[in-house]
Amino acid sequence: MKKIFIINGGQKFSHSGGRFNETIANATADFFHKHADFEVKSTNINDDYDPAQEVENFVWADVIIYHTPIWWMQLPFGFKKYIDVVFTEGHTKGIYKSDGRSSANPTINYGTGGMLHGKKYMVTSSWNAPKEAFTLPGEFFNQHSVDEGALFGFHRMNAFTGMLPLESMHFHDIEKNADVEKDLKSYNDHLTTLFIN
């Protein structure tokens, strides 16, 4: 039985109610509950959480699925705090033991001290920006994809722990031109391709 840990990073703040990421996180849980081969745990970063228990969830899981909006080209501050607190708690307790270097040769092997080898992760992100802002010449993101640009550091963070990536999914133009029904269908197809087929 594959173990799935879902993290809803859709922070409630100011005009953002976190509804889209809550919808996607719930759809993720529903998808895996429909199949007998999966066991699911979930965390919502808006709720109180015990850092030690969160570390245990990472250690327990085979796959971690992160859901996050992007605010000002970065993770929301509540989700970033969750990562800072939980990953710090996980030092020598299952997330990482060191930065991987040795005093004998401190210039090599940085980022190889993770303890989550053999596990995988997936991230979804939601954007006000349209997809074309990433793909068209002369548009805002200079033809850099979400994964190569805004989420590059996020992916390296997960590599630092030893995890390997599954294909990401990014939702665009959520504030002005949302089509949640279409997004949910695309996302269900994405999960089916990764986990069922």
Q: How confident is the model at residue 15, as a pLDDT? A: 74
Per-residue pLDDT for the chain (197 aa), expressed as one digit of tens each?
Answer: 899 999 999 998 877 778 999 999 999 999 999 998 999 999 999 999 999 999 999 999 999 999 999 999 999 999 999 999 999 999 999 999 999 999 999 999 999 999 999 999 999 999 999 999 999 999 999 999 999 999 999 999 999 999 999 999 999 999 899 899 999 999 999 999 999 97
Please give the single-letter amino acid code of residue 85. V
Please give the single-letter amino acid code of residue 63. V
21 CB contacts (<8 Å, ≥6 apart)?
Answer: 8, 9, 10, 67, 68, 69, 124, 126
Please give the torsion angle defined by the CA atoms of residues 191, 3, 75 and 135, in that order, rounded to the nearest 10 degrees.
Answer: -20
Query: H-type helices in the chain, by residue range?
Result: 19-33, 51-60, 77-89, 132-135, 152-161, 174-177, 180-195
Q: Which domains does the chain have, with CATH numbers?
A: 2-195 (3.40.50.360)
Task: Decide: pTM greater than 0.85.
Answer: yes
pLDDT in tens, 47-76: 999 999 999 999 999 999 999 999 999 999
Q: How confident is the model at residue 17, as a pLDDT? A: 79
Residue 158, SS3 per DSSP: helix
pLDDT in tens, 148-158: 999 999 999 99
Residues facing residue 102 across a β-bridge: 105
39, 4 in Cβ contact below 8 A?
yes
Using CA atoms, how far apart are residues 149 and 82, in angstroms rounded to an integer? 22
